[in-house]
Structure 1
Amino acid sequence: MDASPSPFDAAFWLTAAAILCLLVMSAFFSGSETALTAASRAKLKTQADKGSSGAKAAMKVTEDNERMIGALLLGNNVVNILSASLATALLTRAFGDSGVALATLGMTALVLIFGEVLPKTFAITNPELVAVRVSPVIRVLILVFSPIVSVVRQLVRGLLYLFGVRTDPDSHILALREEIMGAIALGHSEGAVEKEDRDRLLGALDLSHRTVEEIMRHRSQIEMINAEHSPDVIISQALASPHTRIPLFRGEHENVVGVIHAKDLLREVNRLMREPGGTVEGLDILKVAMKPYFVPETTPLDEQMRQFLKRRTHFALVVDEYGALRGLITLEDIIEEIVGEISDEFDIAQDVTLKRAENGDYLVEGAMTIRDLNRMMDWQLPDDEANTVAGLVIHEAQMIPSEGQAFSFHGFRFEVVSRKENRLMKLKLRAL
């Protein structure tokens, strides 16, 4: 009787070698998926601009994440299932029915360690390096698997549609701003970004999401000149003003007829005084004044800044939907939203808008904007419904509070310290 053939023949070792190759492919797919999803597109773009072909390929591959991940998952699942099937057949032949259990335990350990954890750990440690190396191969695999991935993608989208989930192909573009803002905030919390740098960067990113109405100087605070006054009065008022540009009105403040620039006024006065027997009484203020520039209160700040630069002007009057004057805005106001308060030698010294009492309360000017308060104190008071601290209190209280009244909301206690007519002048704040 012939001896039974040994299970460890050439076929056994060929199958074992095939399983080993499949594990290497599984590691490649797992590491590639992690690297390409974790790699920073900003860093890849920098490398691509420097001439890296691998970075250009990685940028191309990651443009369609859904397609890329579909191809990688398809390849990874195929090699994992095939390797498990071969291992089961191999060990069943060698050890009988117990080979199924041995194959399950052995392949689970091998796939977990060498096919998942090890390559993913290496890839997450060097995402850009791995992405640059693997992207040329992944591009070819995506083309090969594209028909199958397209069918699977449509099937998945159809199933999600049945459950009310809609996929947005531009969602990664829309989330870019939030990703940058989150990275800046995280860098500040970890000490890598200074508070002033964080405020400047976030201020620049916020311009497109904020409107002129939020930062304009209210009409009650606008200094204006009556065009019907005598030239002496107009010149005296212009010289006494700390502002370079001053609106002119006739009859009532709503009727703005022009904007006078101090330099243009002085040039005209100089011209009149140089004439034989010239006096300032012949000054025609409307002849010197510039045409007023009106903007809607809903204009985004980034758009308004572009208009200022395009029109080569720094001053605009803000109107509401009915054309009524609401306030004014300057290019400096917009820049201050990025770099902070800008003062020169002609600015009138302002009282400190935030003082801390001995008991820990903060004494705040009612006209202080919520945004400035949040930036100064690193608070998170909402500014969706109101621009100023006083406006926030009035909005939450649904009334104009009296002196001494106190309210608690958004984690703070607000107490009205002083009120002038319908304006809340000073308030006390304390964190609860």
Structure 2
Amino acid sequence: MDYSGILTIAALVILVLCSGFFSSAETAYTSINRARIKHMASEGDRRAEKVLKLAENYDNLISSILIGNNIVNILASSLATVFFVRIMGGSGVSVATAVMTVTILLFGEVAPKSIARATSDRLAFALYPAVNAIVKLLTPFNFLMGQWQKLVGRLAQKDDAPAVTEGELITLVEEAESGGEIDEHESELIRSAIEFNDLNVEDVLTPRVDIVAVHVDDDMRTVAMRFSESGYSRLPVYEDDMDDIVGILHEKDFYRSRNLLSLRQMMTKPVTVMEGTHLSDMLKLLQRTKAHMAVVMDEYGGVLGIVTLEDILEELVGEIWDEHDEVVEEFQPMPDGSWRVDCSASLDDLREKFGLKGEYESVTVNGWVLEAMGTFPQTGDRFECEGLDVLIERIGKRKVEWIRVREKMQN
């Protein structure tokens, strides 16, 4: 082998190493822990500031790395082809293609990227001077590439396509939780905030049949007993019937003025909203009116239920208990393998618990039972639905209170 052959091989080795450099730089800078680097920069680490600045200029960084990587790969392939053709003649083209494909794949891609992924932060610091110099050197090319990218992006972009969908955000949160970056409680809070705008007042309201209220002409003793028995600090006040809620009575106002004023004088005007109102809009309305309770109306003017500020906040932060609340598990496992289910529970919770797939109009388990049976049941009635054997365990005045659910054995 003559001197030129040795120089060619040396040049090929250098080009493959350069390919490995660009590949490792790409992986290192796309895999760095930005939160950690940002924290280091905030504490005065100048190297971390430089690395973070370079990483945040993502388009220029990746464009420079890809341009450099393509240049060295093309040069290496061309040089190898000339070298093998000189030695082997016409068949040298095929040999050069095979040899360089394997060489670049192993030593210019797989190995460097594997190492960079395992040591991304450390490698990003080590490669910074060289990568930064290359980015500055290729600035004119990056500008042209950026303009081309914007042109192609405008042609291909759909106006109605969201930058990030809700599902993608939730997936990112789940990945952060599984990676240990956030704990389960933080993950649940973030997911609740993301999904908050999808919820309507029907998802959280207390149904009409469960409303604890007082009549506008009830005597003070009856009202006091209702406050004491319910444990609530506010009670709706109705006149003719429950479709005619005329006010909201605060416990503090009642005990302060019951010997001086009538219920009509003590109660405040109720805030009313229509069914279908988004929870985010409901929250803004309660904040604007400084109210803690609102009456939800249907399209015919009837009362669907009531929604409180606490109901809305619980959708964001989970169940809020005070010292007077009796903690009742909505799903209670029984010794025989069945589940005792509180029918005021959300149908979504039942769906998640037992894997229900059907589409139902109901919001609560009680509504689902009535929808599935098509009539108001009696204690002891049974029905089957989606592989579940359901026993009506307890009936209230106007609703099913408890059911017993057993999953049927699959053949």
The answer (yes or no) to whether the contact 2:248–2:269 under 8 Å persists in 1 is: yes
2:205 is the alignment partner of 1:209:
no
Q: 1:398 to 1:143 in 2, by over 3 A?
A: farther
Cα displacement (A) at 1:427: 3.8
Cα displacement (A) at 1:149: 6.1
Cα displacement (A) at 1:73: 4.2
2:44 is the alignment partner of 1:60:
no
Residue equivalent to 2:382: 404
Q: 1:330 to 1:148 in 2, by over 3 A?
A: same
Cα separation, 2, equivalents of 1:106 and 1:319 = 75
Cα displacement (A) at 1:406: 1.0
Cα separation, 2, equivalents of 1:53 and 1:329 = 52
Q: Which one of the candidate residues 107, 120, 123 is aligned to 1:114?
A: 107
Q: Which runs of 5+ in 2 are unaligned?
A: none
2:248 is the alignment partner of 1:256:
no
Q: 1:19 to 1:351 in 2, by over 3 A?
A: closer
Structure 1 length normalisation: TM-score? Answer: 0.74
Residue equivalent to 2:116: 123
Q: What amino acid maps onto 2:54 in structure 1?
A: A
Q: How does 1:63-212 map to 2 (within 5 A)?
A: 72-97=65-90, 99-130=92-123, 136=132, 140=136, 141=138, 144-148=141-145, 150-151=147-148, 170-172=162-164, 177-183=169-175, 186=178, 199-212=188-201
Cα separation, 1, equivalents of 2:355 and 2:263 = 47
Q: Using the aligned pairs only, state the percent identity.
A: 28
Q: Which one of the candidate residues 303, 306, 310 is aligned to 1:325?
A: 303
Q: Which runs of 5+ in 1 are unaligned?
A: 1-6, 270-279
Q: 1:416 to 1:390 in 2, by over 3 A?
A: farther
2:3 is the alignment partner of 1:26:
no
Q: 1:422 to 1:8 in 2, by over 3 A?
A: farther
Residue equivalent to 1:389: 365
Paired residue secondary structure (1:254): coil
Residue equivalent to 2:345: 368
Q: How many residues are treated as equivalent by the alignment?
A: 395
Q: 1:40 to 1:14 in 2, by over 3 A?
A: same
Cα separation, 2, equivalents of 1:168 and 1:36 = 31
Cα displacement (A) at 1:218: 1.0
Paired residue secondary structure (2:390): strand
Q: What amino acid maps onto 2:364 in structure 1?
A: T
Structure 2 length normalisation: TM-score? Answer: 0.77
Cα separation, 2, equivalents of 1:48 and 1:173 = 31
The answer (yes or no) to whether the contact 1:355–1:362 under 8 Å persists in 2 is: yes
Cα displacement (A) at 1:233: 3.8
Q: 1:30 to 1:308 in 2, by over 3 A?
A: farther
Deviating more after overlay: 135-144 vs 289-298: 135-144
Cα displacement (A) at 1:229: 2.9
2:214 is the alignment partner of 1:237:
no
Q: Which one of the candidate residues 410, 413, 416 is aligned to 2:388?
A: 413
Q: Per-residue CA shift, 1:358-381, capped at 9, x if unaligned?
A: 332212222221344578x5x654
Q: What amino acid maps onto 1:177 in structure 2?
A: L
Q: How does 1:286-325 map to 2 (within 5 A)?
A: 286-309=264-287, 311-325=289-303
The answer (yes or no) to whether the contact 2:170–2:194 under 8 Å persists in 1 is: no
Q: 1:350 to 1:257 in 2, by over 3 A?
A: same
The answer (yes or no) to whether the contact 1:400–1:422 under 8 Å persists in 2 is: no
Cα displacement (A) at 1:400: 4.4
Cα displacement (A) at 1:216: 1.4
Cα displacement (A) at 1:98: 5.2
The answer (yes or no) to whether the contact 1:363–1:427 under 8 Å persists in 2 is: yes
Cα separation, 1, equivalents of 2:15 and 2:5 = 15
Q: 1:346 to 1:111 in 2, by over 3 A?
A: same
Paired residue secondary structure (1:252): coil
Q: 1:155 to 1:176 in 2, by over 3 A?
A: closer
Q: What amino acid maps onto 1:227 in structure 2?
A: V
Q: How does 1:5-20 map to 2 (within 5 A)?
A: 8-9=2-3, 11-20=4-13
Residue equivalent to 2:214: 225
CA RMSD, 1 decimal: 4.0
Q: 1:423 to 1:264 in 2, by over 3 A?
A: closer
Q: 1:392 to 1:256 in 2, by over 3 A?
A: closer
Cα displacement (A) at 1:125: 1.8
Q: Per-residue CA shift, 1:246-275, capped at 9, x if unaligned?
A: 112222222222211111222224xxxxxx
Paired residue secondary structure (1:253): coil
Q: 1:22 to 1:155 in 2, by over 3 A?
A: farther
Q: Per-residue CA shift, 1:308-348, capped at 9, x if unaligned?
A: 4555443222234555322222232233334443333433x
Q: 1:42 to 1:241 in 2, by over 3 A?
A: same
